[in-house]
Each structure stands twice: as structure tokens, then as C-alpha cells.
A and B are shown apart, each in its own frame.
Chain A
Amino acid sequence: MIVVNDIHKSFGDSEILKGISTTFEKGKTNLIIGQSGSGKTVFLKCLLGLFEPEQGIISYDGRDYSSLTGDEKRDLRQEMGMVFQGSALFDSMTVEGNVMFPLEMFTKQSKSEMQERVDIVLKRVNLIDAHNKFPAEISGGMQKRVAIARAIVMNPKYLFCDEPNSGLDPKTAILIDNLIQEITEEYDITTVINTHDMNSVMEIGQKILFLKNGLKEWEGTNKEIFKTDNAAVTDFVYSSELFKKVRQMYIEERN
């Protein structure tokens, strides 16, 4: 579980995060949504420890990040997995090399043990025949799956995903969403996803945090987002005519 309490982050004179507090629960897919410039990426980078907030506390299962020593912070980071927007796979390594990388860096496992673990996670993300391919030789969807495999290979306690569906076709996007949700529940990890994708919000948003101008505007579940009267949320989530109609139908059905 990650508990965030009143975090503030500025760059120069510009205050990006203006006091956000929330809780991301274990075993759930927690989604951060909001317009571009609302502070989502900065918030996610604060959660990852890439940015240090000027004020406030981020606590990972009771461990306050700001009070940890440098070594403790690095140890905590090894409990985190991250899926970047562009996958961020190492170009010079094969799929297998990318997934094996954290094991080689941080464990004392033998080559065969590492190979076994890599095979398990690649099979888990449905990538069986891509071991020896380089990132440039596989599709965007496959790259995302490799990134997920790399993120979970160390059995992380926390999984962070930045726009995991960007650049993917709707069918592949749903596959990636479902995969992330299955892994979250199967491995019982705290997953935080930064997304613009409303399909993801509806499908896997077990908890949704809506940010606006660096502040928490709303939070709830994918069920609650249908019913909310918060104008900022409805304007953002139901910006397309299709979603407006879907919402209308949902409300009419319930009435």
C-alpha cells in the first residue's frame, strides 16, 4: 500500500503539485487521470522517487521515502517495477536480455535460475517466441509486454505504468489492460497507472484519482465515475459524444 500525504512539488516558480493526499491499495489497479499539464507525470515520478517533493510524505507499506537513507532508497526501488510510456527497453539487448537485466544486476542467481525465471515471466505475458529478438524487431504491443515482463521479473511490491496503452490499437490496449490487472491480482501488488485512456478507466479502474491543476479533484471507482456529478470529471471523462451517450444509457438503465 502506498500512502501519499499532502505532497507539493515545484519547478522554479511554478507549483505543479499543490498538496495531494491519497492511498493506493495493495492488489488493486489504481489509475491516475487528468488533462495534460495536470501534474500526473510529476506525481508518478514522485511516487517512483525520481522527483523528491518539497513537502509531504510518501509512505510505502509504512516506510517514509524521505526519511530513508540512500541505500534504503535504492533497496526500495528494487521493489518497484515500472512500465514506461515508450517501453524504455534497452535497444542493445534482446528481449531475453532486457527481462534478465534486473536479475543480473541485483540477484546472485545462477544463469539457469535466471533463465527459468525469464521463461516464466515471458510466458506469463504471452511472449514465447521472442526471446532472441531485439526491441526494434517486435511490435509496440510486444514491446509493452516485454516492459511488463521486465517490471515483474523481480516480484515487485509496487508496479507503476505510465500510459501503458499509448500508441496501441484498441484490441491490444485491452489485452495490455487485462494483463496488468491479472498480474496485479495474481502477484498481489500495488499498481499505479497513469493514463488518458478512458477504456482503461472503465475496464480496470478499481480506484481512480482525477487530478486537475496539481490538485486532487475527485477519487472513486470505475462504477462511481458513472454516477459522479463532479463537472470537471464528467467534462474530462465524457468529452466524446460516444461516452456521453454511454453514460446517459447507463443512468437511464439504472433509473
Chain B
Amino acid sequence: MNYLAAIGSYFIMIREVFKKPTKWRIMKSLILKEIDELIFGSLGIIIFISFFIGGVVAIQTALNLTNPLLPRNLIGFATRQSVILEFAPTFTSIIMAGKVGSYITSSIGTMRVTEQIDALEVMGVNSLNYLVFPKIIALCFYPFAIAIGMYVGIFGGWLASVFGGFCTSADFIEGIQLDFIAFHVTYAFIKTILFAFIIATIPSFHGYFMKGGALEVGKASTTSFVWTSVVIILVNYVLTQLLLG
């Protein structure tokens, strides 16, 4: 019953976020600040993760190609498919649920604890619009970060394959061009946009409606990470079934 009430509250919160918008002059600067914090501030970790995941996928694929009849370009093919379909959009989003999600929950939760949200409400500001809307808009740029992650992941796979001696550069490049289906990239970006919305709103919900003090801010951050990850994984399954199944 509590879960149902929380789901209901979440959707009511989403409706409130889009009501009574804040002045554009102020909103614009809030959006730019959030883009800097949430997108540019995450590029480093996205690049780091993608690079090494791409490398590991390539090495593991190469080590499993024990049959000499299997072409070496499969390493590039498997790396491309894994990185574009899952690792860049889903795996990175779960990491982002931890990094960005915790930041969102703790920053909004701290504002709740220190009565800053009450201060906004007393002034007549729609606090949900002021706090959550800029995060949703900023995370609309998340697919660009994931696109960089895809590129870097495949590049990491190429480096690991070529310099690890698993295949030649030509084999790898042939592999990443093999049977390329453009819709797979579209599918990955559709997922990414939905994940971005989830990463912006679920942690905001946990921060905004938290009760208690500093300890509860920490607990809310953990809970928000768990629920954001769970929802990302469920949505990933449903979208995959709908779009590729």
C-alpha cells in the first residue's frame, strides 16, 4: 500500500513540476547551472567507464573466440553491439543513478532539512518547478554524453584488441561496420532519454519528500539510488521487448 501511495505521489509531483513555471530569466540560468553540474560534471566518469568497459568487452570476446573458424572481426562486432545496445545506455545510466542521483537527492534533501524549500513555498514559488524542472531539461542533454560514451567504448575496444594483439585494426574496423543496424542506435537513444527522465525525477522525489535530519538525507540518497536502478532495469526490459522483441 505504501508503494502504491509513493507511486501516486511521484506522478502528482511530476504534474506539479510542469505547473506555474518560474520566470524564464531565472530558469535559464538554473538550467545552464544544472547542465554544467549534471552533464559536464559527469563526462569524466562516463568516458572513464566507457573506455575500460569497451576494452574489457573486446578482450573477453577475443578470449572466447577459441574456434579458429570464427573470424576475428567478431571482436569489433561484439564490442559495437554490446557498447551501443547495453553498456553505454544502461550500464552508464546505473552509474549515473549513483553519481547524479545521489547528488540530486542529497541537494534537494538538504534544502528540505534546512527549510529552504519551505522558504521557497512561503515566497509563493512553485518549489518543484524551481528545483526539478531545470534538472529534467539539463538531463535532456544526457544522450549527447552517452553518444560520447559509445564512441569512447568502441575506441577502448579497438585499443585493447589491437595493442593486446587479439586482432588487427582492419579486422576490428570491419567488425564494427558489419551488419550495422541504424535503429539500434535509435533504440539506445530512446532508452537514454527515458533513463535521463528517471535519473532526474526519482532522486528528486526522494529528496523533496524526505523527512528528518542529516542522517535521513544519507538514507534517502541510498534509497533513491536503489529505486532509480530498479526502475532503469525494469524500463530497460520493457523497452527492449517493445522495440527489439
Q: List 29 A-B contacts (CB under 8 A).
A: A50-B122, A74-B20, A75-B124, A77-B121, A77-B122, A78-B123, A78-B124, A80-B122, A82-B118, A82-B119, A82-B122, A84-B115, A84-B119, A85-B115, A88-B115, A88-B116, A88-B118, A89-B116, A90-B119, A91-B114, A91-B116, A102-B123, A104-B26, A105-B23, A105-B26, A105-B123, A105-B125, A106-B124, A160-B122
B22 at the interface (CB under 8 A from A): yes
State the majority secondary structure of interface residues on A.
mixed
Closest to A71 in B: B20
A86 at the interface (CB under 8 A from B): yes
Shortest C-beta distance, B103 to chain A (Å), equals 13
Contacts of A104 in B (CB 8 A): 23, 25-26
Closest to B19 in A: A70
Contacts of B115 in A (CB 8 A): 84-86, 88
Q: How far is the CA of A88 from the CA of B119 in the complex (A)?
A: 7
Closest to B115 in A: A88
Interface size class of A (residues with CB under 8 A): 20 to 34
Contact B125 A48 (CB under 8 A): no
Give the interface of B toward A (CB within 8 A).
Answer: 20, 22-23, 25-26, 110, 114-116, 118-119, 121-125
Number of CB contacts from chain A to chain B under 8 A = 49
Beyond contacts A88-B118, A91-B116: 8 other A-B pairs, Cβ-Cβ < 8 A, are A80-B122, A85-B115, A86-B114, A86-B115, A88-B114, A89-B116, A104-B23, A106-B124
State the majority secondary structure of interface residues on B.
helix
In the A-B complex, the 9 residue pairs with the smallest Cβ-Cβ separation, listed nearest first, are A77-B124, A88-B115, A88-B119, A74-B124, A82-B122, A84-B115, A78-B124, A88-B116, A48-B122
Contacts of A75 in B (CB 8 A): 124
Q: How far is the CA of A101 from the CA of B125 in the complex (A)?
A: 11
